[in-house]
Structure 1
């Protein structure tokens, strides 16, 4: 029971501190307007030294963001108190007593004022190398697409698989053997001129020769 009573009393006191701060907001805003040129350089220096997490909280201060990193936020409020930022001292005392999570109202107010004074967030600078990469990327992508299309056109899909290399060699050897072998029709034509013409009637020719001999014998006697 005592623990719950202490928590309840702490929350009540934190609420009163937030209400007291709200009453002083108008005066804080006026004082900040008068000193903003003087404080701008100091605020910028503090902001530059902050972690990326705290920078994000300063740019977009919300109760949820403050509750995620209350210790870092308390440290930032202390640094604002040191440069005499309007309202930082009152907010810092409340944060020291109750914690940043219970007095988010005053903290959000301060961070919003800081964010308004800081220059707008700039996009990361683009270097010459980044520009070259951006310019080269579309070109390389187009070249790859063109190469792929050309390959597809040059190599149309074949409906039949190509024969193995061994079968091609066998077909070539068979063709060469067929060309070298003499044809059956050509062989007799080459042998015909070598045949001797045989006499059709041997007996008749012998009689004619005998007659020639008789005539040759009778011729001298005449």
Structure 2
């Protein structure tokens, strides 16, 4: 396309030269002069159009927009399911979920529910509430009892954290965690998680309701 425009531009310039030579070589009448002026104007317009097309062809194209990097730990994100902003604390690439700290509690949500949120000018991540009133979704299907008997110790932490988050959102005040007696290793992991979890106000043994094989956890008020 560029070569065609350059060829057209050369032809227009040759026409201009021929017209100028005709001016010098003929006796000029008024009618011929008017016709020649029209031809000159038309030829000049063609030259201008060809030049503009050539400039557009040679103009550098705009660079493609940079690709957005994947979400990572420390990013401030908006959690669509609850309408709040929080900070990513962990990402599980196997099941495509992320643990997000939202104010005083943690949520485990699908990465597809998260969008990167704007941060403050100083670069610090801040927990922000939207101007409108937000009602956290209820989850009526969450049971008050969570049975972990037969689980491996490595399975407890993540699953228990998710259950506590769901129980809090469902409005449960107290939950019954069944871990069994066994060697006591499973019970110890459960209580270690409860001791550091921001949604747990207190916990105690099952007493008459299961003894050492059960732990009763009381959640913080909403």
Q: TM-score range by the shorter chain?
A: under 0.3
More helix by share: 1
- Report the TM-score, using the length of structure 1 for normalisation: 0.20
Higher relative contact order (CA 8 A, sep 6+): 1
